[in-house]
Amino acid sequence: MITDSHIYDRAPERIEALKRSLKIAIESDQIVLCGDNIECHEYFYLLKECVWDKYPKTICVLGNHEEFYGDQNKNRKFIDENWHHDTKYISRLLKGNVLIVGMDDGQGYFNKQQIKKLSIDIKNAKKNGYTVIIFQHISFKGLREITEENLEMLDLVNSNSDVIKGVFSGHSHSDSVSFLESGIPCYTLKSNNDPEFDGVVLKIIVD
């Protein structure tokens, strides 16, 4: 997992940090970028060049920055039309027993369709003995919007701790671990641009 790369054309050091991290992450079964991958939508071409042109199966969860600056509705339309996978929800089975889920909560809220899709994936996971790992940009603890959908999503996750074994996020640009009421661990990773490092990669091992 890599998060908060915030790449743009006037920050070559951020682009190089992302390239270094990707060279390490490629050794994993799945590369996941956990939001704020670009500084704003106009730098989508850099994400395509650095990530999808070389690592086409990479999952890139949306953050809050992808829609920043200018007309956010117009920006979102561009992102939805050009992103390399569904922007709101994506799930993928790895090694026949680990189901990874990427969800967009970059603007601070979930929607009914995401809840429905996660419910279906959880049902399939229980039936087939899968372990579910969730990736989202903002941790549940960091969501400030108290909406019906946010509460419903949190309840859905908490109610299925038998199959959901971790929630991973970025956004805060710092490392932290917290636990949901059900005991599910929530890991937040620091920015890939942390000045102490030449890139930051989290390796997730599922037994």
Secondary structure of 71-105 in HEC code, one letter for each residue? CHHHHHHHHHHHCCCCCCEEEEEECCCEEEEEECC
The yes-or-no verdict on residue 197 having pLDDT over 90 is: no
CB 5 within 8 A of CB 33: yes
The yes-or-no verdict on residue 61 having pLDDT over 90 is: yes
> What is the per-residue pLDDT for 52?
98
CB 130 within 8 A of CB 100: no
User: How far is it, in rounded angstroms, from Cα 91 to Cα 85?
Assistant: 10
Pick from 40, 48, 41, 42: which is nearest to 18 by CA?
A: 48
User: How far is it, in rounded angstroms, from Cα 84 to Cα 196?
Assistant: 31
Pick from 164, 189, 188: which is nearest to 178 by CA?
A: 188
Average pLDDT of span 89-96: 97
Specify burial of residue 171 (Cβ count, 10 A radius: 0-12, 13-18, 19+).
buried
The larger pLDDT score, comparing residue 144 to residue 205, is at: 205
User: How far is it, in rounded angstroms, from Cα 66 to Cα 72?
Assistant: 9
Pick from 88, 114, 2, 107: which is nearest to 47 by CA?
A: 2
Average pLDDT of span 84-109: 97
pLDDT tens per residue across span 5-58: 999 999 999 999 999 999 999 999 999 999 999 999 999 999 999 999 999 999
The yes-or-no verdict on residue 156 having pLDDT over 90 is: yes
Question: Quick one: pLDDT band at residue 123, thresholds 50, 70, 90?
Answer: very high
Average pLDDT of span 49-77: 94
Percent of the chain exceeding pLDDT 70 equals 100
> What is the per-residue pLDDT for 56?
97
Average pLDDT of span 194-205: 92
> What is the per-residue pLDDT for 67?
87
What does the DSSP assignment read for 86-154?
-SSEEEEEETTTEEEEEE--TTS---HHHHHHHHHHHHHHHHHT-EEEEEESS-GGG-----HHHHHHH
The yes-or-no verdict on residue 68 having pLDDT over 90 is: no
pLDDT tens per residue across span 124-152: 999 999 999 999 999 999 998 789 999 99
> What is the per-residue pLDDT for 169?
98
Percent of the chain exceeding pLDDT 90 equals 92
> What is the per-residue pLDDT for 65?
95
The yes-or-no verdict on residue 114 having pLDDT over 90 is: yes
